[in-house]
Amino acid sequence: MHSVHPLCGGSALEVLPGQTHPGGLVVFTTQHGGLAPESLERYTYKDCQHDLYVVEGRVCERRLNDDGTVTLHTPLPVEELEYRKGKRVRFYHRVTINCPRRIHTERIRVDETDEDRQIDPSTSRQKFNRTEHLRQVPPDTHAGRRLKGFRQDSESQHSRFDQAYPHKRVPAYGANAALLIYIGSAWLSNSVTRAMNAIALAA
């Protein structure tokens, strides 16, 4: 993991799912409920093949029982969240496929690809919403559960912030504008807390 940038109170910064932040920011968001397993890719090797799906924010391998009536999705271990910097920052899950014949290692892009953005003629929709189905930090992992504990304070704080405006929404257009407003709010909150602590200590 490259970095997770905290706001006040130790809360992990949350932005809307979308393209990875150009500065290389690792973003943690929980997975929306009700998303069906989505086919990712079939990896074919010399003597075996593996169907990979995305389920609950992470890459899984689809497995069938002997009669083919039950489908199981086995989460693949994420060995590392790889960070690559070029013209644009890229993040990959380095996953391990524990095959009986031999262990395979693959790198799965977490951020949106050019192919993902193409329109499927049969549905007139984007082929694959990768940032909706895959999370840089999958929620149901040790790191995800740890960050989710940090996230609770930020959720209530963001809700109160929204409620303070006439339309119950922060009037920000675009990720950069929203980030600037939230950082300003955190700065103000920290300044007030610091001033109140200083008064209490001086009393």
How high is the pLDDT of residue 52?
92
Task: List the strands of the sheet with 38-44, edge to edge.
Answer: 38-44, 49-55, 58-64, 71-75
pLDDT of 146 strictly over 90 = no
Token reading at 62: 């689809």
- Each residue of 101-117: pLDDT tens digit? 899 999 998 887 888 88
What's the mean per-residue pLDDT of the chain?
77
Is residue 14 pLDDT above 50, yes or no? no
pLDDT recorded at residue 127: 79
Average of pLDDT values for 46-61?
A: 90
Is the pLDDT reported for residue 2 higher than 50?
A: no
Residue 142 pLDDT: 79
Sheet of 103-109: strand order equals: 78-85, 89-98, 103-109
Among 44-48, 90-94, 167-171, the least confident range? 167-171
Token couple for 198: 């200083």
145 Rama class: left (phi>0) / alpha (psi -120 to 50) / beta:
alpha
What was the pLDDT predicted at 160?
76
Which pLDDT band holds residue 188 (cuts at 50, 70, 90)?
confident
Is residue 50 over pLDDT 90? yes
Of 191 and 34, the structure prediction assigns the larger pLDDT to 191
Round to whole Å and give the CA distance between 138 and 31: 8
Strand partners, 154: none
Bridge partners, residue 62, by sequence: 73
Residue ranges of alpha helices (H) inside the chain are 114-117, 130-133, 142-163, 175-202
Side-chain half-sphere CA neighbours of 53 within 13 A: 15
Q: Inform me whether the pLDDT recorded for 11 exceeds 70.
A: no
Can you give the pTM of this predicted structure? 0.60
State yes or no: pLDDT of 34 exceeds 90: no
Structure-block tokens of residue 60: 């899984």
* pLDDT band, very low/low/confident/very high, at 53 (cuts 50, 70, 90): very high
Mean pLDDT throughout 54-62? 88
Give me the mean pLDDT over the 151-163 stretch. 69
Task: State the pLDDT confidence band at 97, using cuts at 50, 70 and 90.
Answer: very high
Q: Which string of DSSP letters, residue by residue, matches 69-116? A: --EEEEEPPEEEEEEEESSSEEEEEEEEEE-SS-EEEEEEE-S--HHH
CA distances from 22 to 53, 63, 178, 182 (A): 27, 36, 16, 18
